[in-house]
Structure 1
Amino acid sequence: MTTRIVLCLLVLTTAAAAGAAESGKSATAKIIDSLGKTLGTAHFSEKNEGVEVTVKVSGLPPGKHGIHLHEQGKCDPPGFSTAGGHFNPSAKQHGSMNPGGKHAGDLPNLMVKADGTAEFTATAKGATLGDGGGSLLKKGGTSIIIHAGPDDEKTDPSGNSGGRIACGVVTAQ
Structure 2
Amino acid sequence: MRRPVVAPALSACVLAVVCGCAGADEAQSGSSGAGAAADSASAGTGSGSGSGSGSGSAELTSRLVDPDGREVGVATLTEVEDGTQVDVQVTGLPPGFHGFHLHAVGVCEPDSPSPADPSMTGDFLSAGGHIGAGETDHGEHAGDLPLLYVTEAGTGTLTAVTDALTLDQLTDGDGSAVMVHADPDNYANVPERYAPGGPDQMTRNTGDAGGRIACGPVEG
TM superposition shift of 1:48: 3.0
- What does 1:1-173 align with in structure 2 at a 5 Å threshold? 24-78=57-111, 79-88=123-132, 91-95=135-139, 102-130=140-168, 135-154=169-188, 155-172=203-220
Distance 1:68 1:22 in 2: 26
1:50 maps to a residue whose letter is: G
Alignment partner of 1:103: what SS? Answer: coil
Q: Which amino acid aligns with 2:80?
A: K
Whole-Å separation in 2 of the counterparts to 1:124 and 1:157: 20
- Asked if structure 2 preserves the Cα contact closer than 8 Å seen for 1:73 and 1:143, the reply is yes
Partner AA of 2:153 in structure 1: D
Deviation, structure 1 residue 45? 0.5
Equivalent residue number for residue 16 of structure 1: none
Q: TM-score, normalised by structure 2?
A: 0.61
Higher-Rg member (1/2): 1
Q: Which of structure 1's runs of 4+ aligned residues deviate more than 6 A?
A: none
- Judge which range, 33-42 or 46-55, deviates more: 46-55
Q: Secondary structure at the match of 1:76?
A: coil
Q: Describe the shift of the 1:119–1:36 C-alpha distance in structure 2 as closer, same or farther (beyond 3 A).
A: same
- 3-state DSSP of counterpart to 2:206: coil
Which letter does structure 2 place at the counterpart of 1:159? G
- 1:58 and 1:93 map into 2 onto residues whose CA distance is 30
| Other structure's SS at 2:204 match | coil
One-letter code aligned to 2:95: P
Q: How many residue pairs were aligned?
A: 142
Q: CA RMSD in A?
A: 1.8
Could you tell me how far apart the structure 2 residues matched to 1:93 and 1:22 are? Answer: 36
89 and 164 in structure 1: CA distance in 2 versus 1, 3 angstrom threshold: closer
Structure 1: any 5+ residue segments left out of the alignment? 1-20, 96-101
Aligned equivalents of 1:50, 1:89: Cα separation in 2:
20
SS in structure 2 of the partner of residue 121 of structure 1: strand
Q: Distance in 1 between matches of 2:86 and 2:134?
A: 19
Q: Report if the CA contact (8 A) 1:23-1:46 is conserved.
A: no
Q: Percent identity?
A: 42
Asked whether the equivalents of residues 74 and 83 of structure 1 are also in contact (C-alpha less than 8 Å), the reply is yes
Unaligned runs of 5+ in 2: 1-53, 112-122, 189-202
